[in-house]
Amino acid sequence: MIKAFLKIVCTCAVVAAAVVGVTNAIVVVTTQNDIVNTDDAAGYHADAVVVLGASVFADGTPSTILKDRLDCGIALYKAGAAPKIIMSGDNSTEHYNECAAMKRYAVEQGVPSEDIFCDHAGFSTYESMYRAKNVFGCTRVVVATQTYHLYRALFSAHALGVEAIGVASDYRSYDKQTWYDVREIPARTKDFFKSLFDVPSTFVGEPISLDQSGDVAG
């Protein structure tokens, strides 16, 4: 009985490892050629630059990893890659608002407020891509985040029917990079299947047109 149970457990573990390994390989291999530099992205004529959120300190200052994503997104906007920026992050509570901090930082760097849209329900990478298409109406985007994160973002966008390229914001080494890399492995598998089944984001809501001022969207 114990032997049979252990055999089942081992078989399940092998199958799970295989699924994780295969899905990660697909996500990386199918998107790696869509990671370009800022100069190449400048002529892409996207609907928007999508900057993916990350942690914000208690005083509203972007963390180092988020600041680098923002600097990358701002550089893309100024290079002409897209006329709008979507700041997609977590605003799940009244006291934590990644998007507001992201927009404030970009405005301080000279980006017009009306060209910056806040996606307050970008609770995950997949949801950011889902909402870029289904809320903001994007069919073509440039994604700004670190390389390890870009594969998953681009795969989700492509699977959802959005043309997308990414520019890496790897401007420095990060203290928790090993943890980010490890955490990304199951996250890629999760988003692989969410993309496959076109799972709706937590909140969808009414469409938001990028033709209006970004100040309307917060």
Report the domain count for the chain: 1
What integer pLDDT is reported at residue 217 of this predicted model? 63
Q: What is this structure's pTM?
A: 0.92
**pLDDT digits 0-9 by tens, 35-50:** 999 999 999 999 999 9
Distance CA 72, CA 51 (A): 8
**pLDDT digits 0-9 by tens, 71-86:** 999 999 999 999 999 9
Say if residues 59 and 159 touch (Cβ distance below 8 Å). no
What integer pLDDT is reported at residue 204 of this predicted model? 84
Q: What is the CATH number of the domain that holds 166?
A: 3.40.50.620
pLDDT band at 218 (very low <50, low <70, confident <90, very high): low
- Of 104, 121, 122, 126, the closest CA to residue 113 belongs to 104
Note down the domain range covering 123. Answer: 2-217
196-200: long-range contacts, CB 8 A cutoff, minimum separation 24: 196/159, 198/159, 198/160, 199/126, 199/130, 200/130, 200/134
